[in-house]
Amino acid sequence: MLLKNDKAIDFIVSDYLNNQVTLSDYKGKKVLLSFFRGAACPFCNMRVRELINNYPKFEEKGIVIIAFFASSKEEISEYAGKQNAPFSIIPDPTLKFYIKYGVEQSKWGMLKTMLNPIKMVNMMTSGFFNLKSSKDKPIVPADFLIDEHQSVHAVYYGKDFGDHMNIEKILKWK
């Protein structure tokens, strides 16, 4: 697991639209780096929608968003990509960068999600509900705030499938 003040792990990858994304290209900028489950995950798609809805605020604060999904380009196009996010979404079906960033898998995290009636109702009424994601690996999301010097400013390893760093906390980042 990465900790605050660790050096961010650089990458050169293609997003699902075949655009090259390199973390070091964002040196001098603040980056929210988010790791999600599979692209069909309703909780993940709810978070993507939340990021899209708040994107003007992120731009105003000079924060770039980069998202990783444990899915293929095709799966991202079919699910999360339909939201036309104004930020890069990177496929990582082999979990190469999930492993490097210490993103965990947890059946307990899955169970905690299922036992939370508010989260379940929100998910089922979100418009993103599907059964496809039930076969995905039980990846628990993680968020990293990476500063202008490419160091980790803050780390958030989620506790369940819908647990991410609070948007307001990210926007208060100075």
Beta carbons of 120 and 162 less than 8 angstroms apart: no
Domain assignment present for residue 126? The answer is yes
* Secondary structure class of 77 (helix, strand, coil): helix
- pLDDT value for 55: 98
Domain assignment present for residue 162? The answer is yes
111-151 pLDDT per residue, tens: 677 777 677 677 777 777 776 776 778 899 999 999 999 99
Domain assignment present for residue 7? The answer is no
- pLDDT value for 130: 75
Q: What's the total number of domains in the chain?
A: 1
Which regions in the chain score pLDDT beneath 50? none
Domain assignment present for residue 80? The answer is yes
Of 22, 33, 168, the C-alpha closest to 101 is 33
CATH, residue 95:
3.40.30.10
